[in-house]
Amino acid sequence: MQSRARGLSNALIGDMAPTQLAGEAGAEGILYKSGPFTVRLHCEHARMMDNFQQMYRHHRLLDSAAHIAHFSIDMQRPHGLRRWWRPQIRMRTDAQTPFEPFPLDHAFPLFEWSLNWVTAMQAHQFLMLHSAVVEKDGVALIMPALPGSGKSTLCAALMLSGWRLLSDEFGLIRPDDPRLLLHPLPRPIPLKNASIQVIRDFAPDAALGPTYPKTRKGDVAHLAATRASQRQGEQTAPAGWFLFPQYQAGSSLQIEPLARSWTFLKISGNSFNYKLQGARGFRTVAQLVKNCPAYRLSYSDLDQAIKQIEALHRQVIQQRAPQAAPAAQ
């Protein structure tokens, strides 16, 4: 029997009628491409699919009969009392329910965290740096996610200033690939608490979804990846440099280069699966540290920070040019 979803193959998620998308997701489920992965999503909550469609407009659906899903996410409404009283939703993947149920109206944040979880648990064909990655002029900037650094806010502001988002969460690199290419995974950026208003002020037209109050990480609102970021979801970019941002209210802009020893410790310690990769992980992080200069940036003003980052990025690209020339021949 031909899959109902087969008729959706190759359509952009944003081009679907919302009722059709929700209908397919609630019936057989949909399959879509997200960076290097295919994701199967089955969802019994039509309103979540509205949020999903808003955030993944430029992702493509795939023929579920012709592709194998890397990740399978099933968003289920529990039976019994919790279907009606203080309704909940839970996520199942590969016959596991790794998280406690969430309130039904927090279905989309649960879906996003679930995708992070399955990626971190399963995508070991990549060395997974816990980092935001953005690209401009063909070179990637990696911003490791140190606690409280304001990484997502800066990543969002860079994307809204014309940079391409590769990921807000995962720096995906094939271990031992001498080209040190970053693979995109241009999913929504989850902004938290004060960052939501900061980005609204920075770009009033930004494609922000609804705010989910009082989640486990406080108030959360998702910012959709730009159209260009989503549509170039398979275009890799070579690692250029590292930036460790640090937001400090009221501070003046400060930039300082970082020692390789410090950078190695932070990058390896901040990876989802460095230890699991063994020698391949060690060699890959060492290559990154040798090839990519690293800086720490303290800032309080986003516009100033972006100007500084743009200047540093141009400098990095100029310094890379002599190295890149022989490889291009």
Partner 1 sequence: MLYENWEGKYFLLNPASGHTHVLNHAGFVLLQELARQPATLTELAHRHLEDQAQVNLLAQHIGQLELIGLICRAAPED
Is residue 318 near partner 1 by the rule CB under 8 A? Answer: no
- Which residue in 192, 199, 210 sits closest to 51, CA to CA? 210
Taking the complex as a whole, how short is the minimal distance between the CB of residue 285 and partner 1, in angstroms?
9
Distance between CA atoms of 22 and 13, rounded to whole angstroms? 11
Residue of 67, 82, 283, 317 interacting with partner 1 (CB under 8 A) = 283
Q: Is 83 in the site for partner 1 (CB under 8 A)?
A: no
- Which range touches partner 1 (CB under 8 A), out of 15-23, 84-92, 223-231, 273-281? 273-281
Asked if 305 and 255 count as a contact pair (C-beta separation under 8 A), the reply is no
Nearer to partner 1, 132 or 285 (CB): 285
The window from 106-114, 154-162, 257-265, 310-318 that contacts partner 1 (CB under 8 A) reads 257-265
CA 259 to chain centre: 27
- Kind and range of the H or E run holding 42: strand 37-43
What's the length of the chain?
329
Nearer to partner 1 (CB atom), residue 226 or residue 268:
268
- For residue 188, count CB atoms less than 10 angstroms from its CB and return exposed for 0-12, middle for 13-18, buried for 19 or more: buried
Pick the piece of the chain touching partner 1 (CB under 8 A) from 76-84, 179-187, 282-290, 299-307: 282-290
Out of 265, 304, 314, 324, the residue judged to bind partner 1 by CB under 8 A: 265
The four Cα atoms 220, 226, 227, 233 give a dihedral, to 10 degrees, of: -90
**Which residue stretch of 199-207, 229-237, 272-280, 307-315 sits at the interface with partner 1 (rule: CB under 8 A)?**
272-280
For residue 218, state whether it binds partner 1 (rule: CB under 8 A): no
Q: Is residue 291 within the footprint of partner 1 (CB under 8 A)? A: no
What separation in angstroms does the CA of 237 have from each of 173, 184, 185, 234?
A: 10, 8, 12, 10
Specify the residue, 124 or 217, whose C-beta has the smaller distance to partner 1: 124
Beta carbon of residue 279, minimum distance to partner 1 (angstroms, whole number): 6
Q: Which residues contact 27 (CB under 8 A, 6 or more apart)?
A: 4
CB of 272 to partner 1, least distance (A): 14
Shortest separation between residue 26's beta carbon and partner 1, angstroms: 43
Regarding 216 and contact with partner 1 (CB under 8 A), the answer is no
Which residues, in sequence order, are CB contacts of 211 under 8 Å at separation 6+? 196, 219, 220, 221
Please identify which residue in 217, 260, 307, 314 interacts with partner 1, judged by CB under 8 A. Answer: 260
Nearer to partner 1, 2 or 261 (CB): 261
264 binding partner 1? (CB under 8 A): yes
257 interacts with partner 1 by CB under 8 A: no
Q: Is 276 in the site for partner 1 (CB under 8 A)?
A: yes
Question: Position 2: which residue type?
Answer: Q
Nearest to 199 by CA among 222, 233, 227: 222
3-state secondary structure of 144: strand
Select from 55-63, 244-252, 264-272, 319-327 the region that touches partner 1 (CB under 8 A).
Answer: 264-272
Exposure b/e, 198-236, CB count within 10 A at least 16 = b: bbeebbeebbbbeebeebeeebbbbbbbbeebbbbbebb
Interface with partner 1 (CB under 8 A), residue total 14
Check binding of 202 to partner 1 (CB under 8 A): no
Encoded tokens for 83: 């279907």
Q: Please tell me whether residue 261 binds partner 1 under the rule CB under 8 A.
A: yes
Residue labelled with tokens 């039976």: 79
Using CB under 8 A as the binding rule, whether residue 279 contacts partner 1 is answered as yes
Q: Using CB under 8 A as the criterion, which residues of the chain lie in contact with partner 1 when the complex forms?
A: 259-261, 264-265, 268, 275-276, 278-279, 282-283, 286, 289
